[in-house]
Amino acid sequence: MSVVNEKLKLENIRSALIRQEDTIVFDFLERAQFPVNEKVYKEGSEGCLNLQQTDKSFLEFLLHEEEKLYSLVRRYASPEEYPFTSDLPEPILPDFKKPFPLHRNEVNVNAEIYDYYVKEIVPKICANGNDSDNFGSTAVSDIRCLQSLSRRIHYGKFVAEAKFLANPEKYKKLIEARDSEGIINAIVDPVQEGRVLQRLHYKALTYGRDSADPTKPTDKINADTVVSIYKEYVIPMTKKVEIDYLLNRLKD
Task: Enumerate binding residues for a copy of itself (CB under 8 A).
Answer: 18-19, 22-23, 26, 29-30, 33, 48-49, 51, 58, 61-62, 65-66, 69-70, 72-75, 78, 92-93, 96-98, 132-133, 136, 139, 199, 202-203, 206-207, 209, 211-212, 214
Q: What is the largest CA-CA distance in the chain?
A: 61
To a copy of itself, the closest distance from the beta carbon of 47 in angstroms equals 11
CA 90 to chain centre: 23
Q: What is the DSSP letter of 155?
A: T
Q: Which is nearer to a copy of itself, 23 or 225 (CB)?
A: 23
User: Across the strands, what pairs with 43?
Assistant: 57
To a copy of itself, the closest distance from the beta carbon of 193 in angstroms equals 15
- The number of residues in the chain equals 252
Q: Which is nearer to a copy of itself, 20 or 175 (CB)?
A: 20
Q: What is the DSSP string of 63-117?
A: HHHHHHHHHHTTGGGSTT---SS--PPPPSSPPPSSPP-SPP-----HHHHHHHI
Q: Which is nearer to a copy of itself, 183 or 223 (CB)?
A: 223
To a copy of itself, the closest distance from the beta carbon of 171 in angstroms equals 27
Q: Which is nearer to a copy of itself, 78 or 185 (CB)?
A: 78
To a copy of itself, the closest distance from the beta carbon of 223 in angstroms equals 12
Q: Are 175 and 249 in contact (CB under 8 A)?
A: yes
Rounded Cα–Cα distance for residues 50 and 43 (Å)? 7
